[in-house]
Amino acid sequence: MVQQTPALDLIRLVNGYQISQAIHVAAALGIADHLADEERTSDDLAAATGSHPRTLYRLLRALATTGVFREGQDRRFALTPMGECLRSDAPVSVAPWANLIGRPFEWNAWAHLLHSVRTGENAFRHVHGTGNFDYLSRHPEEQAIFDRAMSAISRRLAPAVLAAYDFSPFRRVVDVGGGTGALLAKILEAHPLLRGVLFDQPHVVARARSVLEAASVINRCEVVGGSFFETVPEGGDAYVLKFILHDWDDAASTAILKACRRAMRVGARLLVLERLIDSPNEGADTKFADLNMLVEPGGLERTPAEFAALFAAAGFRLTRVVPTATPLNVIEGALADAA
């Protein structure tokens, strides 16, 4: 008999997009929130989410085979431990990310990965005729979905960053490209004497107030809108860039770092929070994140040596790499000509 397992294993991988999009739809409908307190039938869930009953059943029974939901008798569905993570109020909610990745504007860019691989070009620009951040600025609903996804990731990763890296020597931290402030809020919450500056594009920081107020750090946080290709707020003793440089190629990343350098005084620290490319055959999350950077913003994930070269090109020296309990690392730099 012909051994079928490798082919079947491959087919499951090939069909992985079906699972991604199905989870996206469940997230977009808020199914997990409707299952938070009790099991419910798919008809009940269809009524609660304004969906087509028979078709929602087909979606949920398929997802129940992946371990996201559990199907019981009479078309009743319940959350599994994975499904709990799709609740919008889960401590580490994956719902905002699932909600983002299946949106047509993101999904369509991945349909053009072949173009990127043939040409080295950014698929998103090929499809939409403009860069990812420019597109978001013109589509406020998508921008809000994107910002919520970034904030959820920051809230998930912040405890590990705070456990691994000591922010207590600093008095003023500038979060460059800090989105709507989720990470900075966590840093300031953990360090009551610290002051913060949240810096991002004006239309993004315009929606940061509620995040900073909810964390009761608004009184210690300045909010500044601008472009990190021009100027970055001065006077910080730490400049955090989380998931910024991986959005950009080396030339643009060097320009961002140079703007930071111009704002920094001797003794200030650059804290680049990024994943690192692992050795061959390892680090799937980062290597696929790298493809996501190629396709969506047009950037790349880097090795430690590539970060060291980037730092040097912008007048920094890489002082140390501090791993966290997550794939995120704190890649620390200081001004190259400072002691």
Q: Closest separation between CB of residue 319 and ligand SAM, Å? A: 21
* Residue whose CB is less far from ligand SAM, 133 or 167: 133
Comparison of 66 and 201: residue with beta carbon closer to ligand SAM:
201
Q: Where does this chain bind ligand SAM (CB under 6 A)?
A: 133, 150, 153-154, 177-179, 183, 200-201, 204, 227-229, 242-244, 247
What is the phi/psi pair of residue 13, to 5°?
Answer: -65, -45
> If DSSP codes are grouped into helix, strand and coil, which group holds residue 206?
coil
- Please give the Cα distance from 26 to 32 (Å, whole number): 8
Report the amino acid identity of residue 286. T
Distance of alpha carbon 315 from alpha carbon 261, whole angstroms? 7
Cβ contacts of 191 within 8 Å, gap of 6 or more: 167, 168, 170
Closest contact distance (angstroms) between CB of 176 and ligand SAM is 7
In sequence order, which ranges of 16-85 are alpha helices (DSSP H)?
Answer: 16-29, 31-34, 42-49, 53-64, 81-84
Q: Which is nearer to ligand SAM, 77 or 307 (CB)?
A: 307
Q: In the complex with ligand SAM, which residue's Cβ is closer, 30 or 178? A: 178
- Whether 246 is a known active-site residue: answer yes
Active-site residue, selected from the candidate residues 34, 112, 191, 246: 246
Concatenating the DSSP letter of every residue in 286-319 gives: HHHHHHHHHHTTS---B-HHHHHHHHHHTTEEEE
For residue 270, the SS3 value is: strand
Query: Which residues are paired to 320 by β-bridges?
Result: 332
Q: Which is nearer to ligand SAM, 123 or 153 (CB)?
A: 153
Say how far apart CA 275 and CA 159 lie, in whole Å. 16
Q: Are 274 and 320 in contact (CB under 8 A)?
A: no
Q: Which is nearer to ligand SAM, 56 or 331 (CB)?
A: 331
**CB nearer to ligand SAM: pick between 102 and 179:** 179
Cα 155 from Cα 148, distance rounded (Å): 10
Q: Smallest distance from the beta carbon of 273 to ligand SAM, in angstroms?
A: 7
- Min dist CB 339 to ligand SAM, Å, is 29
Q: How far is the CB of 133 from ligand SAM (least distance, A)?
A: 4
Residues shown for the chain: 339
Q: Least distance from C-beta 243 to ligand SAM, angstroms? A: 4
Least distance CB 112 / ligand SAM (angstroms):
20
10 Å CB burial of residue 114 (0-12, 13-18, 19+) is exposed
Burial of 75 (0-12, 13-18, 19+ CB in 10 A): middle
List active site positions.
246
